[in-house]
Amino acid sequence: MSVEQKQKRVEIALGRKKADKVIKNARIVNVFTNEIIPGDIAIHDSLIVGVGNYSGKEEIDACGKYVCPGLIDSHVHIESSMVTPAEFAKVVLQHGTTTVIADPHEIANVCGIEGINFMLNEAKAVPMNIFYMMPSCVPATPFENNGAALTAKVMEPFAGNPLILGLGEVMNYPAVLAGDKDILSKIELFDNGVVDGHSSGLSERELCAYKAVGVMTNHECTSIDEVIAHLRLGMYVQIREGSAARNLTDIISGLIERGVPLNRCVFCTDDKHLQDISREGHINYNIKKAVSLGVDPIEAIKMATINPAQCYRLKRLGAVAPGYSADLIVLSDLNSFDIDKVIFRGSIVCEKGKKPNIKRIVDDPNVLNTVRIPDLSMENLKIKIKGDTAAVITVVPNQLITKKERLAVSKDSENNFIPDEVFSKIVVVERHKATGNIGLGIVKGFGIRNGAIASTVAHDSHNLIIAGDNDADMLLAAKVVKEANGGYAVVSSGRVLGTLPLPVVGLMSDKDAFFVEKRLMEMIESAKNLGVPDGIDPFVTLSFLALPVIPEIRVTDRGLFDVESFSFIDI
């Protein structure tokens, strides 16, 4: 910033010159003193330069409504929304979110540095702040095959990028506690930034070790005791309210009951699907829910503004004060949090009832045509049952965990497993390099009858995953997804009931959010009609059945995996 620009700010702040823009007659939410202050907000060149009594070349009358800082999501995976950053921005801006701190872990697992560069380029083209954390665990585990690997050496050129704030969620905490040089080298590389955590159930000493190497945040706390243990060490707790994981009620209620200060608590969504954002909201929903539980509205706003800004060292974000970016929301009531206008860097980008005007075309060849699957046959899908019973993955309604059971299943005269309405077949096919790797398993509780569903969204390596009760439909579902260059498919009795193409690395659509949301709802209904029971989201549940770090049993492209023993097992 030049001396001349600073001189202009001085002149405007002192009232000697008119501001470019002034928001008049506002009730300003002050996150420093927990006050509501009547006044005007003077804006010059996207920054707030004065709060008080001002006149401007352009004036916006707030009509006595509240003005607070734009909201910040402290941890989110944009790819999990199944739309590109531009479409994601179009959705969340309507709910007052002007800043997100995203971990591009999903796209990095598919195409590595090229995927991160795509996300960085997209961030520059939208009217909101999109910052990133460098994914720390790509691949996430050594028990599956993904599309890329990010070592500390590969990450080095990104360490000084202003859009990258630090190191993303360090899921491999066992490696940290073992003093592993590879993970500690990554943490050291971003020692001047912020290092995000991802752990649960650590002992007191283990948590001390985690913090001692530089980990500053955690979004995996589920109990109030765990939250307080983190806060006592000076860590930030990211209170998550997403689609699958909803921890806000328990944590906020516990914090209120114990009278714990909220200054190191921030909000995040982690993974929240478009239909849930449309129905509930984004970070504004976290605020409303916290207020309904008894949190003072200004304290709740601070958890979505100044607290995460201070955590991630974003010195120009999170407050309505001189020197801060004019990222603001105008609203009628702090309890209902009904948003009238969203302002980004001084310009209105969204008004009530209107969507932001954002259009982007994906033309980066590095993120297209990433689904590489060899031709499959029924022979590839046969599961031999050696004894009277088989190892079974039992899904648990409304949970990501599974149960490992050994049960009697049907088989033919050649000892091949025969699926039925209780036991489905599940298949994971490596899809990044066409290696031909195929993992097979049996899943109980999915309930599919006369059909199959398939997806290239399969955490964390995002291989092709298929579940069904007959091989013909499973092969057809795989073919449909392959031809779409990734996505979802629902098939029954040789007919394609629906498909949602996700051609951007097999995780994101190149269509708008409305199309994705509408088509996804249709797909879920089709899957439910095949027999998938209540309490099980067909595609979310399927996607996590391939993640070999959640107990008790999973299947990857390398085979059936027992999470408790951390080893592959025979069916």
Mean pLDDT, residues 40-46 taken together:
96
Distance CA 565, CA 388 (A): 23
Q: What is the pLDDT of residues 202-233, one digit of tens each?
A: 999 999 999 999 999 999 988 899 999 999 99
Q: Residue ranges of the alpha helices (H) in 222-296? A: 224-232, 248-258, 274-280, 283-292
- Identify the domain boundary among 298, 313, 328: 313
Both 45 and 115 in one domain: the answer is: no
pLDDT-based confidence at 1, cuts 50/70/90?
low
pLDDT surpasses 70 at 285? yes
Mean pLDDT, residues 90-118 taken together:
97
> Does residue 326 lie in a domain region?
no
> Does residue 539 lie in a domain region?
yes
Token pair of 417 as six digits:
């497993």
pLDDT surpasses 70 at 261? yes
> Does residue 51 lie in a domain region?
yes
Domain total of the chain: 3
Mean pLDDT, residues 448-469 taken together:
96
Residues 6+ apart with CB under 8 A from 495: none
Distance CA 529, CA 514 (A): 23
Token pair of 27 as six digits:
């009730």
Query: Greater confidence, 413 or 302?
Result: 302
**pLDDT for residue 78:** 96
Both 297 and 188 in one domain: the answer is: yes
Both 147 and 107 in one domain: the answer is: yes
pLDDT-based confidence at 546, cuts 50/70/90?
very high
User: Strand, helix or coil at 251?
Assistant: helix
Both 562 and 445 in one domain: the answer is: yes
Contact 505, 460 (CB under 8 A): no
pLDDT surpasses 70 at 337? yes
Both 174 and 209 in one domain: the answer is: yes
Phi, psi of 54 (to 5 degrees): -140, 160
pLDDT-based confidence at 465, cuts 50/70/90?
very high
How does strand 194-197 pair with strand 164-170? parallel
Nearest to 282 by CA among 29, 98, 106, 457: 98
Nearest to 437 by CA among 468, 464, 405: 464
- The structure tokens 């879920």 sit at 524
pLDDT surpasses 80 at 251? yes
% of the chain with per-residue pLDDT over 90: 87
Both 86 and 60 in one domain: the answer is: no
pLDDT-based confidence at 149, cuts 50/70/90?
very high
Q: What is the pLDDT of residues 110-142, one digit of tens each?
A: 999 999 999 999 999 999 999 999 999 999 888
pLDDT surpasses 80 at 245? no
> Does residue 92 lie in a domain region?
yes
Query: Greater confidence, 534 or 243?
Result: 534
Mean pLDDT, residues 142-150 taken together:
94
pLDDT surpasses 80 at 460? yes
Domain interval for residue 115: 70-313
Q: What is the pLDDT of residues 161-210, one digit of tens each?
A: 999 999 999 988 889 999 999 999 999 999 999 999 998 889 999 999 99
**pLDDT for residue 401:** 84
CATH code: domain of residue 154: 3.20.20.140
Residues 6+ apart with CB under 8 A from 393: 402, 403, 404, 426, 441, 442, 443, 444, 545, 553, 554, 555
> Does residue 530 lie in a domain region?
yes
> Does residue 233 lie in a domain region?
yes
**How distant, in Å, are the alpha carbons of 219, 453, 540 from that of 223?**
12, 35, 24
**pLDDT for residue 33:** 98
CATH code: domain of residue 46: 2.30.40.10
% of the chain with per-residue pLDDT over 70: 100
**pLDDT for residue 360:** 86
Contact 102, 131 (CB under 8 A): yes
- Identify the domain boundary among 43, 64, 85: 64
Token pair of 106 as six digits:
């999903």
**pLDDT for residue 294:** 97
> Does residue 345 lie in a domain region?
no
**pLDDT for residue 403:** 94
Average pLDDT across the chain, whole number: 95
Q: What is the pLDDT of residues 493-507, one digit of tens each?
A: 999 999 999 999 999
Both 10 and 86 in one domain: the answer is: no
Report the predicted TM-score, pTM, of the whole model to 2 decimal places. Answer: 0.94
Both 115 and 237 in one domain: the answer is: yes
Token pair of 436 as six digits:
């031909």
User: Strand, helix or coil at 45?
Assistant: coil
Both 12 and 87 in one domain: the answer is: no
**pLDDT for residue 243:** 80
DSSP 4-41: HHHHHHHHHHTTSS-EEEEEEEEEEEETTTTEEEEEEE
The Cα angle at residue 323 between residues 318 and 324, in degrees rounded to 5: 20
Both 57 and 78 in one domain: the answer is: no
Both 82 and 227 in one domain: the answer is: yes
pLDDT surpasses 90 at 359? no
> Does residue 196 lie in a domain region?
yes
Nearest to 62 by CA among 354, 336, 328: 328
Mean pLDDT, residues 401-413 taken together:
93
**pLDDT for residue 535:** 84
Both 55 and 92 in one domain: the answer is: no
